[in-house]
Chain A
Amino acid sequence: MTDEALFEFLHMEIVSHVYKEQQASKGEMDNKDRAACVSVLEGMGFRVGQGLIERLTRDSPSFKDELDIMKFICKDYWTKVFRRVAAILFISPPQGTYVLQDNKFSLLTQLSGGKQYLDQAPKYLAFSCGMVRGALSNLGLDSVVTAEVSVMPSCKFQVVIQKL
């Protein structure tokens, strides 16, 4: 029964550690290094998401289709992980594209609103993108998840399901 604040603190520390490590070994950070940091964070999130979804769906019946899965992610998964409900903004089932929006993303509320930290925000979203991708992967869907922030603390996650 751990406190929510603990996860937020741990997450902030993980993000800062990954970036410090990269900076220490390279000196100047270029785009490739930044991308490497993001993929490390995303990989960690992936593993966590896989584990979480297993625990969460242990006793639920199987899902009817993709849309059902996405609705589950928005409502139940988001509620359990971020204690809120995300809205599905845009659905395009033929291309398998979904956009989820969270207006008050809990991992961004600690950063000040306004333009100042807009370019730092993606660092804090990488882990959560990984979590969503991991959850979908264990539910049988291969996907690519990206996130963008235009106005803090609201953010949009774009999920593209890869058709085999």
Chain B
Amino acid sequence: MSRQSNRTTDSKKMNSELFTLTYGALVTQLCKDYENDEEVNKQLDKMGYNIGVRLIEDFLARSSIGRCQDFRETADVIAKVAFKMYLGVTPSVTNWSPAGDEFSLILENNPLVDFVELPDNHNTLIYSNLLCGVLRGALEMVKSTLF
């Protein structure tokens, strides 16, 4: 019994490591291709956007979430359902703006940055910018325009 459960947790961890390593290889390649970090950030955002527009369909197909009534509900769904389903972590939703149209997602442990160390000459690199693009793409598909 314990043997079997060992294998399933191992395979889940392996998926996570595979994804993390692949993401790392991608960022390394982008840093090699483009000289400045701004370009890399832009590319990561663009790629994330493309992934997001497809991911939202996968998400809606697998979760049975209906329409969100307002932005706060959207934020909750993103943090508690989507992030949990895809990355296995639940970020906290904080820092709501007075108008209720801006919030922050704080990730306590980000699976994308396992095993990663940024060297000093890449201070302006937003390593997890792919996530921003994914959120932007996904939400645009469900008709919320984001900045």
Asked whether A79 and B17 contact (CB < 8 A) given A10-B23, A44-B26, the answer is: no
What is the interface of chain A mostly: helix, strand, loop, or mixed? helix
Kindly list chain B residues whose C-beta atoms are within 8 Å of the C-beta of A40. Answer: 29
Beta-carbon contact of B29 and A52 below 8 Å:
no
Beta-carbon contact of A47 and B51 below 8 Å:
no
Q: In the complex the two chains form, what is the Cα distance from A16 to B51 in whole Å?
A: 11
Beta-carbon contact of A51 and B21 below 8 Å:
yes
Contact among B14, B28, B86, B87 with A52 in the assembled complex (CB-CB below 8 Å): B14
Contact among A13, A14, A47, A80 with B14 in the assembled complex (CB-CB below 8 Å): A80
Contact among B15, B43, B55 with A17 in the assembled complex (CB-CB below 8 Å): B43
Q: Which of B11, B18, B85, B115 has the most CB atoms of chain A within a 10 A radius of its CB?
A: B18
Kindly list chain A residues whose C-beta atoms are within 8 Å of the C-beta of B29. Answer: 40, 43-44
A56-98 interface mask toward B, CB cutoff 8 Å, 1 = contact, 0 = none? Answer: 1000000000000000000000011101000000000000000
Segment of A1-9, A113-121, A137-145, A154-162 in the binding face = A1-9
Beta-carbon contact of B12 and A1 below 8 Å:
yes
Beta-carbon contact of A3 and B85 below 8 Å:
yes
List B residues 1-38 near A (Cβ within 8 Å): 10-26, 28-29, 33
Q: Is A104 an interface residue (CB 8 A)?
A: no
Beta-carbon contact of B47 and A44 below 8 Å:
no
Beta-carbon contact of A7 and B22 below 8 Å:
yes
Beta-carbon contact of B22 and A10 below 8 Å:
yes
Q: Chain A's nearest CB lies how many Å from the CB of B35?
A: 14
Residue pairs across A and B with Cβ atoms less than 8 A apart, 28 shown, are: A1-B15, A1-B87, A2-B16, A2-B19, A2-B20, A2-B86, A2-B88, A2-B111, A3-B86, A3-B87, A4-B15, A5-B58, A5-B86, A6-B19, A6-B87, A7-B19, A9-B54, A9-B58, A14-B22, A16-B50, A44-B22, A44-B29, A48-B18, A48-B21, A51-B115, A52-B21, A55-B17, A83-B11
